Each structure stands twice: as structure tokens, then as C-alpha cells.
């Protein structure tokens, strides 16, 4: 991988996870630790990150949790429309899995009038939004905390889904490609996302059009498991047709 591309991928990973260790980055990108340290030094000079002993963290890391502020705020108008549309597929009494992230957070705001929901989620802020309704039963998974998405991840989070089965999963992604399927900035989420997918009968992928044919570092695949793609009106009609040929119903809002 070329140096500039590797640094771009490192920055994407830090924006998703909040922080990372040099040792882990070295294994992920298959380069030496001194090379990673050089990459982090270059990224620090741009003002995007701050290095610390053994690793680095994204700037404004502490503000995400303190202010319950998500790290991804692009395309919010589209995400709000997608969230509103996705909420239409949830009725009172449903059992659902809600992924984390800004689009799912927008969706949760349109679920506040539902009652008796059974919800499993990895998202702290979604738990707070929907936990205000006393009739809702919410299970928040354990795991490693990710400040930019106010969520938890890792093997411990994935383990909760082993004996779980629900009707509907509302899933987020870093990118979606016809060939690579679901993709994410790093490997830490893959086991969790796969466990979610295996625990649901119907899968709704919530992705604004900027994520379509965007391929990130770690690929989950699973194109054949997605039932619905909910996206915005900027999707190319020819691309929507290609997605539907995979057996995925495209819902445009």
C-alpha cells in the first residue's frame, strides 16, 4: 500500500475508533512500527490527531463522550430522511437490533412514540433516547468503547448475539460495494457486524449515497444477506438497478 493511501486509511480508522496503538496499526497495515510512527507524526502535523506513548487518538476525542456528540456529521439531511423512512418499518412491540452511528441515531429519534419495543443495540446514545420510554426493553451490549460513535464493539459485544434471533436488524456501514459488500475502516467491528447479521431474519442497510461504492479497508461482504437498502435520492438509477439484481430491494427517500 502506498504511503499516502496508508495514512488516509489510518486516519479513517482513528476517526471511527477514536484511538489506536502503534502495535495494532503495524499488524493491520503489515508495516513496521517505526513506519507507523512516521505516519502518525505526519498526521499529527496536519492537526487531525495527537500522538501519545504507544499510539495516537483523534483530536476532540474527549468531547464526543462529554457532549454526547457523534464524530460523523456529514450528509445529515440525507441521514435524517433515511432515519425517518427506516423508522416506518418498526411498530410497537417489535424486536429489533439497532446498530450505532449517526444515521441510526437519527432513526431512533423517530421511534420515540413506539411502545413495548425489544431492542438490542451497541449504541449508548440510542439507549438513552429510547430508554426514556419505560415500556421499552433495551439490552446494551458490553465491549470496548468507541467515543466517536458512542458505541461498543469487539468480541464481547459479538458474544451477546450468539443465542439471539430477532425479526429485523437496522445496520450501518462505512461503505458498500457491489463486489466487496459491507466495508469498514478497521477489523474490530467485523465480528460484531457478522454476529448481528446472523441474528436477524430481515436486514435493513441504512446508507446515504456517499457510501455507495465506497470501499474501506476491512470487508465483511454479506451482500447476499441484505434484504433492503434505504438510501437517499442521490443514488444513480443505474446503480440502484444493479443493487436490485443482487436481490436487495432499494428504498429511496
What's the CATH code of the domain at 24? Answer: 1.10.10.10
Q: Is residue 64 part of a domain?
A: no
Query: Between the CA of residue 4 and those of 8, 22, 23, 33, 100, what are the distances in Å?
Result: 6, 17, 20, 17, 29
What's the CATH code of the domain at 131? Answer: 3.40.50.1360
Predicted structure pTM score: 0.84
Q: What pLDDT is attached to residue 99?
A: 97
The Cα 131–Cα 29 span in angstroms is: 39
Whether 241 and 138 map to the same domain: the answer is yes
Q: What pLDDT is attached to residue 63?
A: 59
Q: What pLDDT is attached to residue 139?
A: 96
For the purposes of burial, counting CB atoms within 10 Å of the CB of 108, is it exposed (0-12), middle (13-18) or buried (19 or more)? Answer: buried
Whether 146 and 31 map to the same domain: the answer is no
Q: Tell me the pLDDT of the chain (253 aa) as tens digits.
A: 789 888 988 888 888 788 889 998 998 888 999 999 999 999 999 988 899 889 998 887 655 655 556 756 689 999 999 999 999 999 999 999 999 999 999 999 999 999 999 999 999 999 999 999 999 999 999 998 888 889 999 899 999 999 899 999 999 999 999 999 999 988 888 999 999 999 999 999 999 999 999 998 889 999 999 999 999 999 999 999 999 999 999 999 9
How many domains would you assign to the chain?
A: 2
Q: Is residue 70 part of a domain?
A: no
Whether 147 and 197 map to the same domain: the answer is yes
Contact 190, 228 (CB under 8 A): no
Q: Is residue 68 part of a domain?
A: no
The Cα 109–Cα 113 span in angstroms is: 9
Contact 196, 218 (CB under 8 A): no
Whether 43 and 113 map to the same domain: the answer is no
Q: Is residue 66 part of a domain?
A: no
Angle between helices 33-45 and 3-17 (to 10 degrees): 80
Whether 107 and 54 map to the same domain: the answer is no
Cell numbers at residue 164, please?
Answer: 439471539
Residue 13 gets the label, from left (phi > 0), alpha (psi -120 to 50) or beta, of: alpha
The Cα 215–Cα 205 span in angstroms is: 16
Whether 81 and 180 map to the same domain: the answer is yes
The Cα 22–Cα 16 span in angstroms is: 16
Q: Is residue 182 part of a domain?
A: yes
Q: What pLDDT is attached to residue 59?
A: 84
Pairing of strands 144-146, 151-153: antiparallel
Structural domain range at position 174: 76-252
Amino acid at each position: 500500500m502506498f504511503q499516502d493511501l496508508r495514512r488516509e486509511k489510518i486516519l479513517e480508522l482513528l476517526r471511527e475508533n477514536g484511538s489506536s496503538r502503534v502495535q495494532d496499526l503495524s499488524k493491520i497495515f503489515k508495516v513496521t512500527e517505526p513506519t507507523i510512527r512516521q505516519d502518525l507524526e505526519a498526521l499529527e502535523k496536519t492537526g487531525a490527531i495527537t500522538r501519545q506513548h504507544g499510539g495516537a487518538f483523534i483530536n476532540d476525542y474527549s468531547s464526543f463522550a462529554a457532549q454526547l456528540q457523534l464524530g460523523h456529521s456529514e450528509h445529515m439531511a440525507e441521514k435524517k430522511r433515511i432515519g425517518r423512512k427506516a423508522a416506518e418499518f418498526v411498530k410497537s412491540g417489535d424486536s429489533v437490533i439497532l446498530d450505532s452511528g449517526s444515521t441510526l441515531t437519527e432513526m431512533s429519534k423517530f421511534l420515540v412514540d413506539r411502545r413495548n419495543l425489544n431492542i438490542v443495540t451497541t449504541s449508548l446514545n440510542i439507549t438513552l433516547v429510547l430508554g426514556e420510554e419505560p415500556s421499552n426493553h433495551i439490552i446494551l451490549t458490553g465491549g470496548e468503547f468507541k467515543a466517536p460513535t458512542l458505541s461498543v464493539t469487539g468480541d464481547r459485544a459479538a458474544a451477546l448475539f450468539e443465542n439471539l434471533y430477532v425479526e429485523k436488524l437496522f445496520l450501518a456501514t462505512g461503505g458498500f460495494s457491489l463486489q466487496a459488500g459491507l466495508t469498514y475502516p478497521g477489523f474490530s467491528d467485523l465480528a460484531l457486524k457478522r454476529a448481528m447479521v446472523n441474528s436477524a431474519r430481515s436486514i435493513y442497510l441504512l446508507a446515504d449515497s456517499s457510501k455507495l461504492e465506497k470501499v474501506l479497508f476491512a470487508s465483511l461482504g454479506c451482500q447476499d444477506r441484505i434484504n433492503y437498502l434505504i438510501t437517499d435520492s442521490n443514488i444513480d438509477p443505474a446503480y440502484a438497478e444493479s443493487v436490485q439484481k443482487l436481490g436487495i430491494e432499494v428504498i429511496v427517500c
